[in-house]
Amino acid sequence: MCSAAKHVPEVAKGFHDTREYKELPARVSEIKKHLQNARQSLEDNKKAVDKSGDDCLQQLKSLRDKLNTMIDRLEKQTVTEIKKGKSSVGMKIQTDVDKIDDVTERLQKLSDDLNATGENNEATSYIGCIKVDDVIWKANVLLQEINNKDDYKMSFQPFTGITEYVSSLEMLGEVICEGGEKPLLDPGCSFEVEKHVLHNVKVADDKSICYITGIYTLGSGEFLLADRYNSKLKLFDSSFKVISTCDVPQYLNRVCLTGEREVAAAINNNNEDRHEIHFFRVRAGRLLMSRTIKLQYGCIGIAHHSGDLYITTGTALHVYNISGAKSRQLYSVQSGGYTVCGCAVSPDGSRVFITNQTHNKLITLNKDGTKLSTLTHPELQGPVAVHVTSLGHVFVSCCSLGTVVQVVGMKDGKQTVKTLAGLKERLNIPMSVYFNSCNNTLVVGQAKNNIVELQLKP
C-alpha cells in the first residue's frame, strides 16, 4: 500500500547529529519528572484517604461510646462500609500508580537500550527513538487522564439527631467516597428538552385528582411523591410503578431528604392550627413514620442541609435543627400573599433560594440571610417550587404560566430565565420539580393524575 519505501539505514543516516536525537535525554528526564510528581501526588492522596478513613473510624468510636449497646448492629455495618470505601478508593489509586510504574519502567528500559547501542548503530538509534517517542506519547496521555481526576476524598458524617431516632436507622452515618472522574456537566450550562414522558401516579384508592406538591428520589432510585389532594406519600420505583403509599394528615406540602432512607414532609393545616414536620423511613419497600415535629409557625416549603431544616411559612423563612428546636428566622417579607413560598439550598450551603409567588421573584440569600440578588423576568410568573441540583443548576416551576424554567447565568452572576417546558410538554399547574442526576431528567409534579419526566440535554 506504500507509494515509496526506504531502508532504515538510509533514513537514519546523520540522525545522531539531529536536534531531535540530542534533545531526547532531556525530554526523557522531563517526562520522568512529571510522572514521578504525579505518582507522589497519588501516593499522598492515598495516605490522606487512609488517614481520613481512620479519622472516620475514630469519630464512629466516639459516637459509639455515647450510644452503648443500642448501636452494636449499626456500628458493625458502618465499619464494614468504611473499610469497603477505603479498599475501593485505594484500589482505584493503586491502579493509576501501577500504570505510572509500568510506563516509567518501559521508558527507562528503552532509554537504557538506546544509550547502550545507539552510539554504534544509527539505525538502532532511529528505531529506539521512535519507540521512546511512542512511550512518551502514552505517558502524556496517562498524565492527562490522571490530571483530569479530582483527588479522592473520604469522610464520615454522623446522622444529626441520631439519639432520637437511632432505632430506625440502618447505619450510624453516611460513608462518602469522593473524587475520581470529574462531573461531565458544566455547572454553568443551560439545558434543552430532548423529549418528555408522562407517568400516571394515580393509585386505586385515590379519591381526588392527584396534586403533586413534592418530589424526591432516594439513593436506590425510588421516587417519593407528595400528593396533597389525596393526603398521601407515594413511593414509586424507577419505572414509576407504585411500591407503597402512606396516609398523612390534610394539606401535605413539600418533602425533602434528611438521610439515606429518611424523608421529611411538611403538613400545614391552618384550619386546625396544625403545623408539623413528619419524618418517614423507607424500609423493605414500605413507608414507615418515625417521628413528628410540631412547629409554632406555618410550613409551606422545606429543605435540608447539614442537619438544618429550612422551613418557609408563606411570609418568612425559619431555620430549625433536625430535632425541631428553632434556631432563627433567616428572612421575612410581610407585604401580603405568598412572599416566601418554596426554598432550596445550594450544595455547599452558601446560598438559599426562595420563591416569592405573589410578586413573581426569585430571591437569593447567603447563609446568614443577607439578600444577594432578586431575579424578576416576564417568564418568571407565579414561581412556586425551586430546586438546586448537586452541581448548582437551578430550576423553578411557575404555576401561573404552567411552565418550568431554568435560571441561567448562575456561574457569572448575570442571572436570567430560560423556559424549558410548558403546554407542549403537557404541563398543567406545575407545583414541584426535581432533577434526577442519574439520567439527566427533570421530573415535574402537577395538578393532574400524571407527572411529566423531561429528558434534558446540555
Tell me the per-residue pLDDT of 204-259, one tens digit each, with 9 for 90 and over: 999 999 999 999 988 667 899 999 999 999 999 888 899 999 999 999 999 999 98
Residue 183 carries which DSSP code?
A: P
Mean pLDDT value across residues 391-408: 94
**Rounded to the nearest 10 degrees, what angle do helices 19-67 and 72-117 cross at?**
170
Instruction: Give the sign of the dihedral formed by CA 59, CA 60, CA 65, CA 67.
Output: positive
The single-letter DSSP state of residue 191 is: -
Whether residue 355 is predicted with pLDDT greater than 90 in this model: the reply is: yes
Cα–Cα distance list, 434 to 126, 127, 213, 386, 423 (Å): 60, 59, 11, 9, 18
pLDDT value for 67 = 66
- In this structure, of 67-81, 414-428, 433-447, the range with the lowest mean pLDDT score is 67-81
- Describe the crossing of helices 122-147 and 72-117 by its angle, rounded to 10 degrees: 160
**322-361 core/surface letters (b: 16 or more CB in 10 A; e: else):** bebeeeeebbebeeeebbbbbbbbbeeeebbbbbbbbbbb
Average pLDDT over residues 55-74: 77
Please report where in the chains the cell 393524575 appears, as a residue: 449
Amino acid sitting at position 4? A
Quote the CA–CA distance of 61 and 296 in Å, as a whole number. Answer: 37
Q: Which residues of 25-53 are buried (b: 16+ CB within 10 A; e: fewer)?
A: eeebeebbeebeebbeebeebbeebeebb
Q: Residue 139's pLDDT is what?
A: 85
Q: Are 282 and 222 in contact (CB under 8 A)?
A: yes
Most confident range, picked from 100-104, 232-236, 333-337: 232-236
- The pLDDT value given to residue 53: 86
pLDDT-based confidence at residue 162 (cuts at 50, 70, 90): low
Q: How far apart are CA 120 and CA 22, in angstroms?
A: 15
Which DSSP symbol is given to 35?
A: H
Q: Which residues are CB-contacts of 358 (< 8 A; sequence separation ≥ 6)?
A: 335, 336, 337, 338, 339
Average pLDDT (268-284) is: 89
Q: Which amino acid is at 279?
A: F
Output 337 or 183, whichever has higher pLDDT. 337
What are the residues facing 320 on neighbouring strands?
309, 326
User: Quick one: pLDDT at residue 410?
Assistant: 64
Give the lowest-confidence range in 82-96, 131-145, 381-395.
131-145
Q: What is the pTM of this model?
A: 0.62
What is the rounded CA–CA span in Å between residue 440 and residue 456? 6
113-122, 123-132, 145-154: range with highest mean pLDDT: 145-154
pLDDT over threshold 80, residue 119: no
| Bridge partner residues of 331 (DSSP) | 317
**103-110: Cβ within 8 A, 24+ apart:** 103/35, 103/135, 103/138, 103/139, 103/142, 104/32, 104/35, 104/36, 104/39, 106/135, 107/28, 107/31, 107/32, 107/35, 107/132, 107/135, 107/136, 107/139, 108/32, 110/135
Residue 59 pLDDT greater than 80, yes or no: yes
Would you call 257 exposed, middle or buried from its count of C-beta atoms within 10 A (0-12, 13-18, 19+)? middle
Q: Is 14 exposed, middle or buried (0-12, 13-18, 19+ CB in 10 A)?
A: exposed
pLDDT exceeds 90 at position 78:
no
Q: H or E stretch including 362?
A: strand 361-366
**Does the pLDDT at position 114 exceed 80?**
no
Terminal Cα distance for the chain, rounded: 44
The answer on pLDDT for 5 being more than 80 is no
Residue range 140-163: mean pLDDT, rounded = 81
The residue with greater pLDDT, 219 or 149, is 149
The pLDDT tens digits for 374-395 are 999 999 999 999 999 988 999 9
Q: For residue 164, give the DSSP letter.
A: H
Mean pLDDT for 281-293 is 86
Is 70 exceeded by the pLDDT of residue 413? no
Closest CA relative to residue 73, chosen from 171, 141, 183: 171
pLDDT averaged over the chain?
Answer: 87
> What confidence tier does 185 reach under pLDDT thresholds 50, 70, 90?
low
Nearest to 83 by CA among 42, 49, 110, 133: 49
Cα(46)–Cα(86) distance, integer angstroms: 9
Say yes or no to pLDDT of 182 above 60: no
Q: Which three cell numbers stand for residue 157?
A: 458524617
pLDDT at 107 over 60: yes
What's the mean pLDDT in 65-83?
A: 78
The three grid cell numbers given for residue 172, joined into one nine-digit string: 450510624
Res. 165 pLDDT band, cuts 50 70 90: low
pLDDT exceeding 90 applies to what percent of the chain?
47
- The pLDDT of residue 205 is 93
262 vs 246: CA distance, rounded Å: 14
Looking up cell 407528595 gives 226
